[in-house]
Structure 1
Amino acid sequence: MKSFLGNVFNKFIYTIKTKPLQRGMAMYSITYPSACFIQQYLNSQQEHIDYKRVAKFALFGPLVIAPGVRLWYKFVDKMFTSHSFHHILGKLALEQVIYAPIFYTVFYSGLTLMDGGSLSDATEEVKSKAFNTYCVGLTVWPFLQLFNYSHVSDKNRMPFMAFFGLMWTVYLSYTKYVLKGSSEIKALETKMSQKKVSKEPFERITLIPIMFMRLLKMRRRRLFWKIIEQNIKKKS
């Protein structure tokens, strides 16, 4: 019996060491439920841990997210074969344009369906939350993935992404189950305009894209008035 268990364990370790997909699935089977648990534990408004939700994350991470991540890495490695800086930038750009929107769509719609929601519920969830989460992700993932693509070996990319994605998945869990959608995001924006930002760390993170978009608007206005001033000077 001991020799049988020993052989099974050794085969498991060998598979984890030599096969990137299985290694990634093993990591995601730990990080996803852990992130869900941490988010619920940190939520001051929640009295009890929903272990069914934790179990859903334990299935969703390794069975849905991990294979998608592996397929993506294989795809970008075929598109950009060298390790030059230009090819790495190409991978980063492609990831934010193609992979990230697909990922957030799958995350919000998939978990909504697992919770028993309808297709219309899943669609509404994606519409109300995916874009704002995508904007927050732009402040995090390009920098992490720059290191991942340039310094991490192929077999360790998924574990790297899973490890550093732990706290990101905590935030995703918050946006999925605590933040109710665009109405609450607008409420947070109102708080910010009144300088009444909550002490909740997740709310502060959610404000990042709002602040970013405001800065862009300010820059556009300044550029607009600058162009007008230049035209007036030319006419005079």
Structure 2
Amino acid sequence: MLPQLWVASALCAVVLSAPTYSPGAAERPADMKVLSDYFHMLGTKVQAGRAMAEAPICDLSKAVLPVATATPLPAVSAGLTLKHVAIGRGTQNYSCTSTNATAAPVSLGAIATLYNATCVASTYPDLLQILPGVALEFNLTTPTQQTLTPSNLDISGHHYFSNTTTPSFNLSTTAMDLGFALCQKNNTVPAPAGSVVGQDGVGFGAVPWLKLTTRTGATGNLQEIYRVNTAGGNPPATCVGMPATFEIQYAAEYWFFQS
């Protein structure tokens, strides 16, 4: 969504698609706490919005990249500007060897669908912060589910690995053409204490926050990508009882910066 569009559209996106509860979905106390916080915050913002003379403008210059309090990631390089913010929802993928059950699982990368949260980031950062944890409580119905439950954010791209060390981001969709990038890890820090550990409040922890830099050939002037406010995705400490390959559900914010 372009900056000049009214942010009312962004708030409608996260308000109008209230979740349809199904058996097994968001029925446990941990889930209900996450969702109650989400809808309480939405209700507060809707009430405040009714008192506004006009909707605020979706201004990307007002969006502030989250900072991990204990050990922050390196800052965005000088001269770069924010291009896009997305909620990624998918799986972190791992493998285990049958010959050493006490070994740690090996990362095979991730697969995620990216949903456009740019205007939410610029105007409702507190709402954006809890969206990964909320989204984690609802499984994707398909790998290309068109909107993010329980919000109504639309697909803006896809994230996958070209190989085990090359994360890829395809932001060229029918809705927008923002570029494509193969990336490399620049820096990583642990997810802050209190991050959502997994679905249903049960899991092995949130995957680390990352700073990525794009490789030669990236399009759309994409230069740096940050993964922050992660929820879930960590594997167990060892391969004991695990299959040869397995997936762990996760969600995160992805911030894309351009030259």
TM over 0.5, shorter chain: no
Over alpha carbons, which structure has the higher Rg? 1
TM-score, structure 1 normalization: 0.25
TM-score, structure 2 normalization: 0.24
Q: Which has the higher strand share?
A: 2
Q: Which has the higher helix share?
A: 1
